[in-house]
Structure 1
Amino acid sequence: MSVFPKEQILVLRMEDYHQDIAATMTSVYAHLGLRGLNANEERQMNMVPVQNKNRKKMNIGKILNSTEDILRKFYEEYNKDLADLLGDLRFTWDDYYNMA
């Protein structure tokens, strides 16, 4: 924030992207001052295959509750600081874990 003003920085949550790619991309385009995509352009963009996907990834199941608690406690202060800085409480993780 010492180099760029807050208005020039866009921080996105991966959860939001996965829940609604189109809305997330609309916010990115708006933040950059670009015109929005029309329906055909949006459809073409969504047809491009993911390039960095790990095709050998195994489904190992849900995270252990004890591991989740450790991670939540470790990152709690950092997430609160980020949420305060951005003025967005969604970065505290509370809404994400309470929705599950």
Structure 2
Amino acid sequence: MFRCHCRDCQQLTGSGHSEMVPLALDDFTISDTCKTYEMLGGSGQPTFSGFCPTCGSQITRNSQRMSDRIYVHASSLDDPGKYDPEKSIYQNSAQEWDEAAILKG
């Protein structure tokens, strides 16, 4: 579990970072269909954001670059209280006003 400070996550969440749970794509299922938004990520390769077709809440992220993984937004978990991030990634992209959220680890 991690906190991502990349510019893509900032723009998609409207905040300074996103809270993510990485899972093996083969182990992941979702009960309803997500709408998907495709964009070019910072790597220059396609990334995909899954969101609720009813309310627009972000649910998942995945990318062509790491096609065996899916990243679930912690706030979309049935019990987000179980989320316990271990580290931050892309700290160099963190906004100055969000630097206190950077986790060491």
Normalising to structure 2: TM-score of the pair?
Answer: 0.23
Larger Rg: 1
More helix by share: 1
Instruction: State the structure with bigger RCO (CA 8 A, min sep 6), 1 or 2.
Output: 2
More strand by share: 2
Normalising to structure 1: TM-score of the pair?
Answer: 0.23
